[in-house]
């Protein structure tokens, strides 16, 4: 099936979860926020939230920094 990840089409297997997608993309779950179809997910739901045909996923990574 096809979903959209950060604006780009991506094929994934049926039954894929958000956690599985992040693992496939080699993204650590503790440093991201994920939005599916304009809904921000709680990190505890990554393992149970299944993805469906046409879902729009936005993955936002946190980058550390500070004042000089």
Bridge partners (DSSP) of residue 59 are 34
Tens digit of each residue's pLDDT (9 = 90 or more) over 36-56: 999 999 999 999 999 999 999
Q: Under CATH, to which class is 2-61 assigned?
A: alpha beta
**43: helix, strand or coil:** helix
How are beta strands 32-36 and 8-11 bridged, if at all?
Answer: unpaired
Model pLDDT, residue 63: 74
Model pLDDT, residue 66: 61
First and final C-alpha spacing in the chain: 46
How are beta strands 56-61 and 39-40 bridged, if at all?
Answer: unpaired
């Amino acid at each position: 099936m096809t979903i959209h990840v950060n604006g780009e089409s991506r094929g994934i297997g049926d039954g894929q979860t958000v956690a599985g997608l992040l693992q496939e993309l080699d993204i650590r779950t503790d440093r991201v926020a994920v939005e599916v179809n304009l809904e921000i997910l709680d990190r505890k739901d990554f393992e149970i939230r299944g993805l469906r045909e046409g879902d729009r996923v936005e993955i936002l990574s946190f980058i550390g920094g500070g004042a000089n």
